Amino acid sequence: MRFGHPHALWLLLAVPAAALAFVWGFEVRRRRLARLGDAALIARMTATVSLARKWVRAVLVVLAIGLVALALARPQAGGRARLAKQRGLDLVVALDFSRSMLAKDVYPSRLERAKRELEQLLDTRAGDRVGVVAFAGEPLTYPPTTDYAAVKLFWRDLGPWDMPVGGTAIGRAIRAGLDQLVALRGKGGATRGQAILLLTDGEDTESEPLQMADEASKLGVKIFTVGIGSRSGELIPEYDEQGKVTGYVKDAEGHYVTSRLAEDMLTDIARRTGGEYFHADAHHFGVEEVERALAGLQHTENEARVIRQYDEVYELPLLLAFLLLVGEACMTERRKPAGKPAREAA
């Protein structure tokens, strides 16, 4: 058993919430009846109302809510394995891990927002060989793979403090990405579309990114750049060992350092390689535009590999939820009054 949308399992929290709501409602009803007057008289007046049936109806509703939440998570079972080829391209994601990416003009920070958007982008891909270049002053690389879960795991807990050298060397990141893509061409990838997706705030302090862009153009590799951050600039926070903000970065003269988006350079990098530039801020990130741009590149088939196809079984919990709600709607809370003596009836 697995779930196609495991994040929807959070909806199961509605089950205890609904149960508590019913318990609270029954308690409120009991207290209000107790305030009406004599208990024996109230009991005679409400004799035809079955408290047990009210509880049964509440249980049916709570169970139906749980089953609907389970169905929305798309339970899958069984399945079968088959050999399949998928069309894709070669993509290297170059993500900036410099300290300036800790700026919070994009919630929760430039870096964390970039990670989340990249995970969303990978969820839409299939058949691409994806490599990663995490860079600051020097790059860290993860080899291209079709295992997107491993790619996400690589950068999930990575931060600026894990980088061997500080700074922002965009040129070296592009060089590392080109090395990965050129190596793939010797593995049957020469006819595949190849691209680098560069996500950064654009403040290069260490290298020559425009020269590397020209090199990428000669190799036929397109670079799509995503500039993260506000155009007006933002202070760079400092953190303690517990992850709390202790202040903001200052220069040697004691002035606060402001990180500003270098859009002109990122636009030039993309233009020289035939790619596109996208701006990401607090209101818009541009993943959809990146996905559209990547769709225009040449896709070829990978070597056949085993793919397991699971059977969708969400219909079963939905059917059970429907039957429970129908049963709840058909159940009356009234019970038949006891038969009257024949003499009173006469």
Min mean pLDDT across 99-103, 144-148, 305-309, 315-319 is at 305-309
Min mean pLDDT across 27-41, 128-142, 317-331 is at 27-41
Residue that has been written with the tokens 């807990």 in this structure: 157
Chain centroid to Cα 20, Å, comes to 30
Report, as an integer, the average pLDDT of 64-85: 81
Say yes or no to pLDDT of 243 above 60.
Answer: no
pLDDT of residue 345: 44
Q: Report the alpha-carbon distance of residue 92 to residue 77 in Å, rounded.
A: 34
pTM for this entry: 0.63
Q: Report the alpha-carbon distance of residue 346 to residue 343 in Å, rounded.
A: 5
Residue ranges, comma separated, of all CATH 3.40.50.410 domains in the chain are 86-301
Residue that has been written with the tokens 């749980």 in this structure: 66
Residue 121 corresponds to which amino acid? L
Report, as an integer, the average pLDDT of 252-262: 73
Min mean pLDDT across 94-103, 118-127, 167-176, 198-207 is at 198-207
DSSP 318-329: HHHHHHHHHHHH
**CATH superfamily of this structure's domain 86-301:** von Willebrand factor, type A domain (3.40.50.410)
Q: Report the alpha-carbon distance of residue 88 to residue 280 in Å, rounded.
A: 25
Give the chain's mean pLDDT. 83
Say yes or no to pLDDT of 114 above 80.
Answer: yes
CB 279 within 8 A of CB 286: yes
CB 45 within 8 A of CB 112: no
pLDDT of residue 342: 45
- Residue 66: how many CB atoms within 10 A of its CB? 21
Say yes or no to pLDDT of 205 above 80.
Answer: no
Min mean pLDDT across 14-23, 128-137, 199-208, 311-320 is at 199-208
Confidence label for 137 from pLDDT (cuts 50, 70 and 90): confident
Report, as an integer, the average pLDDT of 105-122: 89
The token duo for 198 is 């560069």
CB 249 within 8 A of CB 256: yes
Say yes or no to pLDDT of 188 above 60.
Answer: no
Confidence label for 266 from pLDDT (cuts 50, 70 and 90): very high
Of the candidates 123, 131, 100, the one whose C-alpha atom is nearest the C-alpha of residue 234 is 100
